[in-house]
Amino acid sequence: MSSIRPLVRRPALVSSVLAPIFFIGGTLIAEALWPEFDPVRQTISELAAGDAPTRVFMTIMFALTGVCHLVTAIYAVGIGRIGRIALGLAGVATLGVAAFPLPTVATTSDAHRLAAIIGFVLLAVWPALGMRRGAEYPWLIRPVGALLGTALMAAVCFWFLAVWSSPETGYVGVVERAAANLESLWPALVVAALYLRQRRDRRELS
């Protein structure tokens, strides 16, 4: 039987699914543990601030999400190399968000802001950087799908930045969650597409 080059390896299947579970699920649990927290007006980072009651839990969730992105970048071999590097660096930036939390709920820090911005940007651009050409790849990572993915996430991130720079809007938390949750889910969608294509190709060769 002929062999084909793998598009995704098992660790990426696990890590890409766990990343949004840790991030989205962790955020929801942290919010439930802190009844006074307002997810409409407050940011996710405030859940891990130095004086937040959910600091330790949310810091762990940030760290686990970052590790998952790193594992996905290593083992989702069907993604173009530059895109995998960008996704891996996004994982490092997420670890930076955990390592440099907000000093308090009411303050910020340059290190935290830089890590968060880098993470947001890299998680938006990696699909375009990792695009592949050729019918052997799923649509999501071929040029049109990859560029549309980046365009969608970039649009939501620009929306978040616009709202973030205007605190009087009063709903920065909602927009941040829309952007961050989408970015945490996108690697799982791409990995699922790679896995389905890989399984189909192997079935056709058997």
Residue 47's pLDDT is 97
Look at the block and give the residue holding tokens 């060769």.
Answer: 205
- Report whether pLDDT(3) > 70: no
Nearest Cα neighbor of 129 from 115, 145, 146 is 146
Averaged over 17-37, what is the pLDDT?
97
Tokens of 136: 């052997």
Q: Are 55 and 45 in contact (CB under 8 A)?
A: no
Neighbours of 11 (CB within 10 A): 14
Strands (E), the chain: none
The residue that leads in pLDDT, 4 or 2, is 4
- Report whether pLDDT(66) > 50: yes
- Residue 101 CA, distance from chain mean position: 18
Average pLDDT, the chain: 94
CA distances (Å), 89 to each of 28, 82, 84, 119, in order?
Answer: 25, 11, 9, 8
Tokens of 171: 């709903």
- Report whether pLDDT(24) > 90: yes
Question: pLDDT tens digits for 172-197?
Answer: 999 999 999 999 999 999 999 999 99
- pTM reported for the whole predicted model: 0.94
Averaged over 62-69, what is the pLDDT?
98
Residue 2's pLDDT is 46
Question: pLDDT tens digits for 108-127?
Answer: 899 999 999 999 999 999 99
Exposed, middle or buried by CB within 10 Å (0-12, 13-18, 19+), for 140? buried
- Following CA atoms 172, 174, 175, 180 in sequence, which dihedral angle do they give, to the nearest 10 degrees? 110
- Report whether pLDDT(1) > 60: no
* pLDDT over 70, % of the chain: 97
First to last CA, the chain: 6
